[in-house]
Amino acid sequence: MSTQLKFASLFENDTKFVYVGPEWVAYEDSEEPNSSLANRKNTVVCLPGLGDCRQQYRFLVHKFVDAGYRVLALDLRGLGESSTGFKSFQVEDIVSDVIAILEKEEISYPVTILGHSISAAVAVHLASKYPERIKNIVAIGGLFRPMMLGMNAVIFKDLHIRSSILINCTKDSAFIHLRFLFFTNLWGASAWLGYFKSMFKKPPSDLPEYCEIDEYHLNEDKKRIKAISALLVLGSAKKDVSLEKIRNIKCSVLLLIGSDDPNFKNPQNEINTIVDAFNERKLENQIHKFLVSGAGHYPHVEFPEEVFTNIQAFISYNNNIIQIDTQI
């Protein structure tokens, strides 16, 4: 009988859960129960990207804790330790999950949101709907527009299927329907992992083990594969509403994109396009960008020290601005 595979916890504390009807969203909290530091105002909330779990932040979270931050890291509904019975996977659903966690932890002060990939769009929606709850957004490899992925070629190559069948299908709404061909119970795990592994330009040393555990969990409960399929809609043509939300938010934003992110035809142009959208808000000193040289879609996994240094500098800079404004 095979040994059950499980991702290591980020912290020594037990996993926490917030319930949404009969379902639950799992998260970890760096603070000890009843800690006198639990009300600190420097809180970072980490949202993983498509198909992944909170452990993608394994190289970052302790750097934040050591620097004096409280960290909350969650699993998206249907993935990780979150339950798999959810019926809806809209951006608004994930926004509600985050707010539910903040309310359960009695965190009323503004927090910094780290959103990877599709979760960067979630962060924008959060800041648009709850401006009083969000102080900063850090978008890592943020997908704010319809995905221009090479996902079709990657998946089909892994499955030995001709990619010409659906060339450019990710550029329009057709992919919303065709995604069910990719993420079936038969080859869904293989399809996802083929794509996932292709997103790294400098893979971490633990990637083979990480993928082995991920594959085990996807096959253990096939509803996790369905969750990935459902969450792909957030990266489809409907997600460009995030560009409209960008124009409504007032918090500070840091855009981090890998210079070799395969999700973008030209990462430099992509980050400039998003910066232009943010600049339409006509707010000064609110938008910052950083192109992580040599990184793919997971710069926080590939170059954690460099990414953390930039995030910490961004947060510290904006905290100083807020303090100056308060004093004035």
Report pLDDT digits (tens) over 164-184: 333 333 444 444 444 555 566
Please tell me which residue, 159 or 84, carries the higher pLDDT value: 84
The pTM assigned to this predicted structure is: 0.87
> How much is the pLDDT for 144?
80
Res 92 pLDDT > 80 = yes
Each residue of 42-71: pLDDT tens digit?
A: 899 999 998 999 999 999 999 999 999 999
What pLDDT is recorded for position 322?
Answer: 46
Q: What is the pLDDT of residue 324?
A: 34
The per-residue pLDDT for 323 is 41
Averaged pLDDT for residues 278-303: 86
What is the rounded distance in angstroms from the CA atom of residue 214 to the CA atom of residue 153? 22
State the Cα–Cα distance between residues 315 and 300, nearest whole angstrom: 16
Averaged over 195-214, what is the pLDDT?
95
* pLDDT of res. 282: 60
Give 3-state DSSP helix, strand, coil % of the chain, rounded to 5: 45, 15, 40
CB 218 within 8 A of CB 189: yes
Render pLDDT for 221-234 as a digit per residue (tens, 0 to 9): 989 988 988 887 66
254 pLDDT higher than 90:
yes
Question: 178 vs 73, 79, 101, 162, 305, CA distance in Å?
Answer: 31, 21, 33, 15, 38
Residue 73 CA: distances (Å) to CA of 55, 179, 183, 202, 258: 8, 28, 26, 24, 22
| pLDDT greater than 50 at residue 156 | no
> Mean pLDDT across the stretch 102-112?
94
Decide: helix, strand or coil at residue 307. helix
* pLDDT level of residue 192 (50, 70, 90 thresholds): confident
At 319 the pLDDT is 75
Of 290 and 276, the structure prediction assigns the larger pLDDT to 290
| pLDDT for residue 239 is more than 70 | no
Mean per-residue pLDDT, 260-264: 91
Chain centre to alpha carbon of residue 249: 19
Mean pLDDT, all residues of the chain = 82
Q: Given pLDDT bands bounded at 50, 70 and 90, which one contains residue 199? A: very high
Q: What percentage of residues in the chain have a pLDDT greater than 90?
A: 58
Paired tokens of 292: 């992580």
> Minimum mean pLDDT among 128-142, 158-172, 206-220: which range?
158-172
For residue 85, pLDDT beyond 90: yes
pLDDT at 172: 41
